[in-house]
Amino acid sequence: MAEVTGAAPHALACEEIIAALSVDRTHGLTASEIQERRARHGVNRLTAQKPQSLSSLIVHQFRSIIIWLLAAAALLSFAFGDLAEGVAILVVILFNGAIGFFTELRAVRSMEALLRIAEVQTLVRREGKIQRVDARDLVPGDIVILDAGDVITADLRLLQASNLQSDESILTGESLPVAKDTSPLPTGTDVPERRNMVFKGTAITQGAGEAIVTATGMQTEIGRISALTEEAQAEVSPLERRLDRLGHRLVWLTLGLAILMIAVGVMRGHALIDMIRTGTALAVAAVPEGLPIVATLCLARGMWRMAAQNAVITRLSSVETLGATTMILTDKTGTLTENEMAVVRYLFADGDRALDPGSPETGDARLEMALRIGALCNNATLATGDSEASGEPMEIALLRASHEARADARQSKEDLPRVAEHAFDPARNMMASVHAQGDGFFYAIKGAPEAVLEVCSHEYQPEGSVPLDAATRKVWADRQGAAAREGLRLLALATKQAKTADEDPYAGLTLVGLVCFLDPLRADVPDAIRSGLAAGVRVAMITGDHADTAATIARQAGLAEGGLHVIEGKELRGFDPETADPDLRARVLSADVFARVAPETKLSLVRMFQKAGHVVAMTGDGVNDAPALKKSDIGIAMGQRGTQVAREAADVVLKDDAFGTLISAMRQGRVIFDNIRKFVIYLMSCNVSEVLVVGVAVGAGLPAPLLPLQILFLNLVTDVFPAFALGLGKGDDGIMSRPPRNPQEPIAGRREWSLIGLLSVAITVATLTSFVLALFWLGLEEGQAVSVAFLTLALAQLWNVFNVRSIGGPLLVNEVTGNPYVWGALGLCSGLIAAALWLPGLSDLLRLPDPGTAGLALAGALSLLPLVAGQIVLLFKRRQRRAARETIQPVMAFQERNFGPD
């Protein structure tokens, strides 16, 4: 805070902060002082996040190195006068860019929520008058008048507080309103504990007060978080890293092959210009033009499918990142819980009574009395058809409990009309209401258990009041402590009968019992977390709430089957993953719950788990979650309860706030990666075969069996449509029972490249054999022989789609043969290949004369050889896997018999 030097505002007494800010409390600032301070501190607003421009979206679509290589091939084609080929390559590039651009454009527009927070009016005292001003005009030193319902528009030090409470969940994650007072606090007090401050972006839930502005704009706590969000650079997704890595390898492979081919051709006496053309053909053959297109279409399809399941994706690559997630860091309030208080239990003299909503009449006089007090000593209102519930969350919960659990409780306020109220007194920590009852009056009291217990002389029993002795008071205190350790919030309920309405409401009371509240767990959370754990994904809770409350929710949610490991924020103050003590780092990595955590600590925790090799998904809904959401590999915001700030920072927004939706989205991400791997194997085996066909033919002194434009046509026809069909597969039913794949695992590893090599060689042999037989056995002209080679290669690549099924799948009925899109793609591609051979104009452009009946038969027969070879390879690998499983099973059985299961 720029105005106050020395101690922090919360550490100064009221008189000291007023003096430090040089203001007359009764008069307020003058016009000249306001103008001078605004010039010094600026307007009270947060720095607006720049919306992503159309140009940046367009540039993002062309960052792939594969696209750059294609662009270079297009330029070479134009340089050599091959206009059709150059235009075709440019069409591929533009088509891919258009798909990505229009898909992402729908999701990336910023709503500038942080700026909107300041667009409200604030009541201030200036020049001796109370006036309402635009919140953007506030300056340090302004005296602000507070009342219930006000949105706080700057950081304020309280000068006066009457029954004042503030909802700070947006900032701290604390699920309950915080009671406020004016007493100074130690300098090092954390933000959630600063009871003499209220902060920009929070709201007053009850009471009234007066405060002085200590910080505005980016100097506020919410401004500091906004700055953290800006500093937290979004991570490049795992898929983008993998595709970029694959692209770089393809570039070097392509350049190496092209240079080698040019050198070999020149050494064999070919003209340099012809060899450069051939090298360009090799480059076009080696680059899978369909890879960026199919990857983009596949991700877009997954994005739309997730949107139908209430998960809105803001960035295409985030679709696959969900499937790679190994760690979920989840917020508690509003994410795991309902973010509203509920009565869960009543503690009476002879035992506990769990609340059973909608239960019939039980004749339990204690419960009936407790419900009546909760309804009477209450200023809240429940939701109706026209309005939402209003009031303090605990009072709403008490009212709801009374209305739901007892049919006659609805009549309490009509039967016992209120004649007086004693508002909540922070000094006493109690509230009382007085109600007419026959010839006398009924007093209803609620408050902090220790405060109410101290003024009670009796305890309520069905047969009558019984005096409270010291031993009984200790039992009540012990029961209160045990419930608090469970993470429950407690209020004590008491009553008395009197002949007048003006007696001391807090004397001679009878304790009825204690009522226990909890922000309840969302119903879908335990099953969702079980599904996540079964998929091998770690889940840890990060919350600004108290450790006991967080631990209770964590156990209910099933975060830890054994002992729960909880770390409090005070242990992580100043935590830096780079310099942290190794023991603390180990404890952090194994923790299940992080309680009372500050926003910058959340950011450090995300970095810590990322450094440990995790792909981190962070869920949240508040302003305090935004920096960590942006920094994580996949930021997930809640759509219903989430703030606009959180949604802007996130990659995924769950429209229904359901954890089950998150797990469904993760499954879809895994399916997409498996599908991407399938079509990469398919595309690469097709493209490598094209390189080998051209390279081996030229190296052997044969005419070129394929021309660059023919290769490009094949890449766009036999590559794109079958590959896209593979990308639309529904996936394996057991995909969520597997552990997450290694985040460092490439799309195509050693096993995949070995399969690519085998399939490529098979397609190459079939194509070159048909070309040689067409030239020297059938005696066809060179152009017709090229048509035979073209048709053989095209058909072999189409049948190759059946070679990318899973190794363990059956031959005839599997995820590929059961995919209707695959059959549709094969039919479409067959028609396009026929058009290339016999459609006037297109066949001339591609230089594909009719090969005749014999040529067609030769191509059709030899095109089946790679399919047969591929199925033999898959059968061999399946038998290898089965043999390995049969070998290890007896060993595992012996181990389990003698040493027990692992």
Residue-wise pLDDT for 14-72, tens only, equals 999 999 999 999 899 999 999 999 999 988 887 655 555 667 667 766 666 667 767 77
Q: What is the pLDDT of residue 13?
A: 92
pLDDT at 893 over 60: no
Average pLDDT value over all residues in the chain: 81
CB 672 within 8 A of CB 299: yes
Stated pTM of the model = 0.65
Higher pLDDT, 565 or 322: 565
Q: How confident is the model at residue 1 (pLDDT cuts 50, 70, 90)?
A: very low
pLDDT at 117 over 80: no
CB 413 within 8 A of CB 380: no
Sign of CA dihedral 677, 682, 687, 688: positive
pLDDT at 318 over 60: yes
For the ranges 441-445, 581-585, 632-636, the one whose mean pLDDT is highest: 441-445
pLDDT at 646 over 80: no
Q: What is the pLDDT of residue 237?
A: 56
Which range is least confidently modeled, 194-198, 356-360, 505-509, 754-758? 356-360
837 Cβ contact list (under 8 Å, min separation 6): 787, 791, 843, 848, 850, 851
- Percentage of the chain lying above the pLDDT 90 cut: 29
pLDDT at 723 over 90: no
Higher pLDDT, 331 or 831: 831
Q: What is the pLDDT of residue 144?
A: 94
CA distance 395 to 375: 8
The number of beta carbons lying within 10 Å of the beta carbon of residue 854 is 16
What is the per-residue pLDDT across 215-261, written as a single tens digit (0 to 9) for each? Answer: 998 888 888 776 665 555 455 555 666 666 766 676 677 677 777 77
Q: What is the pLDDT of residue 407?
A: 46
CA distance 354 to 244: 57
Which range is least confidently modeled, 74-78, 192-196, 228-232, 377-381? 228-232
CB 366 within 8 A of CB 513: yes
CA distances from 17 to 40, 128, 182, 779 (A): 19, 19, 11, 101
CA distance 515 to 352: 10
CB 711 within 8 A of CB 759: no
pLDDT at 549 over 90: no
pLDDT at 550 over 70: yes
Higher pLDDT, 137 or 549: 137
Among all residues, which ones are annotated catalytic? 331
Q: What is the pLDDT of residue 124?
A: 93
The tokens describing 316, both together, are: 């295409």
Mean pLDDT throughout 183-194? 87
pLDDT at 499 over 70: yes
Q: What is the pLDDT of residue 471?
A: 93
- Percentage of the chain lying above the pLDDT 70 cut: 82
Mode of pairing for the β-strands spanning 652-654 and 634-638: parallel
The tokens describing 707, both together, are: 């021309």
What is the per-residue pLDDT across 588-609, written as a single tens digit (0 to 9) for each? Answer: 999 999 988 877 788 889 989 9
CB 376 within 8 A of CB 433: yes
CB 46 within 8 A of CB 117: yes
Which range is least confidently modeled, 131-135, 362-366, 756-760, 830-834? 362-366
What is the per-residue pLDDT across 388-405, written as a single tens digit (0 to 9) for each? Answer: 777 788 888 999 888 877
CB 483 within 8 A of CB 347: yes
- Helix 65-79, helix 272-286: angle, nearest 10: 150
Which range is least confidently modeled, 669-683, 760-774, 859-873? 669-683
What is the per-residue pLDDT across 694-710, written as a single tens digit (0 to 9) for each? Answer: 878 877 778 878 877 78
pLDDT at 115 over 50: no
The tokens describing 445, both together, are: 């009291």
What is the per-residue pLDDT across 78-87, written as a single tens digit (0 to 9) for each? Answer: 776 767 667 7
Higher pLDDT, 689 or 116: 689
CB 539 within 8 A of CB 332: no
Higher pLDDT, 711 or 41: 41
What does 78-109 look like in DSSP terms, one character per residue?
A: HHTT-HHHHHHHHHHHHHHHHHHHHHHHTT--
Q: What is the pLDDT of residue 50?
A: 56
Mean pLDDT throughout 301-320? 75
Mean pLDDT throughout 552-561? 84
Phi and psi torsions of 524, nearest 5°: -85, -5
The tokens describing 449, both together, are: 């258990």
What does 452-502 look like in DSSP terms, one character per residue?
A: HHHHEEEEEETTEEEE--HHHHHHHHHHHHHHHHTT-EEEEEEEEEESSS-
Q: Is 213 helix (H, G, I), strand (E, B) or coil?
A: strand
Which range is least confidently modeled, 32-46, 143-157, 287-301, 792-806? 287-301
CA distance 832 to 847: 15
Higher pLDDT, 89 or 348: 348
Q: What is the pLDDT of residue 788?
A: 95
